[in-house]
Amino acid sequence: MLLRCTADERGTRHLVSDAHSDWYELARKCDWDLSYVDERDVFPAEVSGEPWLPGASWRGWDEPYRTSFHDYLTAQQAKESGIEALRSVLATHDERARIDRGWNAAVKLHSATLPLAEFAAVIGNLRAARFGRDSAWRSTSLLGALDELRHTQIPLKIAHQLVASDPQFDWAHRLLHTDDWVAIAARHMVDELLVAADAVEFAIATHFVFETGFTNLQFVGLTALARRVGDPLIEHMLHSIQTDEARHAQIGGAVLEQIVAADPERAQRLVDKWFWRSWQLFGIVTGFAMDYLAPLAARQRSFREFVQEWIVEQFDRSLRAYGLRRPWYWDEFVAALGNYHHMVYAAAYTHRASVWFDLAMPGPDERSWLAAKYPDTWAAYDAIWSCVDDRWSSAGPGVEWYTHGATPIGFCELCQFVLAGGSPEANSARVVVDDGGRTRMFCSAPCQWIYEQERERYAEHEGVVARILAGKAPPNLLALLRYFGLDARVWGRDVHGGLHPWRTGAGSTR
Site for other proteins in 253-312 (CB under 8 A): none
Q: Is 225 in the site for other proteins (CB under 8 A)?
A: no
Which residue among 117, 388, 447, 481 contacts other proteins (CB under 8 A)?
388
Which residue among 55, 405, 474, 501 contacts other proteins (CB under 8 A)?
405
* Burial category of 430 from C-beta neighbours within 10 Å (exposed 0-12, middle 13-18, buried 19 and up): middle
Which residue among 167, 364, 408, 474 contacts other proteins (CB under 8 A)?
408
Q: Is 342 in the site for other proteins (CB under 8 A)?
A: yes
Nearest CB to other proteins, comparing residues 228 and 430: 430
Rounded Cα distance, 149 and 378, in Å: 40
| Cβ contact 214:311 at 8 Å | yes
- In degrees to the nearest 10, what's the CA dihedral of 224, 228, 231, 233? 30
* Binding region for other proteins (CB under 8 A) out of 277-285, 287-295, 383-391, 476-484: 383-391
Per-residue binding letters, 475-494, with other proteins (x by CB under 8 A): x-------------------
| Cβ contact 161:87 at 8 Å | yes
Q: Is 350 in the site for other proteins (CB under 8 A)?
A: yes
Which residue among 9, 265, 425, 435 contacts other proteins (CB under 8 A)?
425
What single DSSP character describes residue 18? Answer: G
* Binding region for other proteins (CB under 8 A) out of 285-293, 302-310, 426-434, 444-452: 426-434
| Cβ contact 464:411 at 8 Å | yes
Find the shortest distance in angstroms from Cβ 465 to other proteins.
Answer: 6
Find the shortest distance in angstroms from Cβ 402 to other proteins.
Answer: 7
The type of residue at 33 is: D
Nearest CB to other proteins, comparing residues 297 and 387: 387
Strand, coil or helix: 479 = helix
Find the shortest distance in angstroms from Cβ 392 to other proteins.
Answer: 10
Rounded Cα distance, 472 and 482, in Å: 13
Find the shortest distance in angstroms from Cβ 473 to other proteins.
Answer: 12
Find the shortest distance in angstroms from Cβ 479 to other proteins.
Answer: 15
Q: Is 97 in the site for other proteins (CB under 8 A)?
A: no
Which residue among 343, 447, 486, 495 contacts other proteins (CB under 8 A)?
343
Per-residue binding letters, 459-478, with other proteins (x by CB under 8 A): ------x--xx-----x---
Residue 6 β-bridge partners: 14
Which of 317, 347, 305, 85 is CA-nearest to residue 217?
Answer: 305
Nearest CB to other proteins, comparing residues 215 and 423: 423
Q: Return contacts of 304-313, CB within 8 angstroms, 24+ apart.
A: 304/337, 304/338, 304/373, 304/374, 305/373, 306/217, 306/221, 307/217, 307/337, 308/337, 310/216, 310/217, 310/220, 310/221, 311/213, 311/214, 311/216, 311/217, 312/337
* Binding region for other proteins (CB under 8 A) out of 206-214, 225-233, 239-247, 423-431: 423-431
CB atoms under 10 Å from CB of 5, counted, come to 8
Q: Is 376 in the site for other proteins (CB under 8 A)?
A: no
Nearest CB to other proteins, comparing residues 58 and 374: 374
Phi, psi of 418, deg, nearest 5: -60, 160
Strand, coil or helix: 243 = helix
Find the shortest distance in angstroms from Cβ 494 to other proteins.
Answer: 12
Which residue among 227, 228, 373, 391 contacts other proteins (CB under 8 A)?
391
Find the shortest distance in angstroms from Cβ 427 to other proteins.
Answer: 5
For residue 387, how far is the Cα from the chain centroid?
Answer: 31
CB atoms under 10 Å from CB of 403, counted, come to 20
Q: Is 445 in the site for other proteins (CB under 8 A)?
A: no
Q: Is 35 in the site for other proteins (CB under 8 A)?
A: no
Q: Is 121 in the site for other proteins (CB under 8 A)?
A: no
Which residue among 90, 120, 346, 370 contacts other proteins (CB under 8 A)?
346
Which residue among 410, 474, 485, 501 contacts other proteins (CB under 8 A)?
410
Cα 70–Cα 116–Cα 338 angle in degrees, nearest 5:
110
Which residue among 265, 439, 470, 489 contacts other proteins (CB under 8 A)?
439
Nearest CB to other proteins, comparing residues 37 and 426: 426
The residue count of the chain comes to 510
Nearest CB to other proteins, comparing residues 123 and 380: 380
Nearest CB to other proteins, comparing residues 213 and 463: 463
Nearest CB to other proteins, comparing residues 136 and 347: 347
Q: Return contacts of 191-196, CB within 8 angstroms, 24+ apart.
A: 191/120, 192/457, 193/120, 193/124, 193/274, 193/277, 194/117, 194/120, 194/121, 194/123, 194/124, 195/120, 195/123, 195/124
Interface contacts to other proteins, rule CB under 8 A: 342-344, 346-347, 350, 380-381, 383-384, 387-388, 390-391, 402-410, 418-420, 424-425, 427, 429-431, 439, 441, 465, 468-469, 475
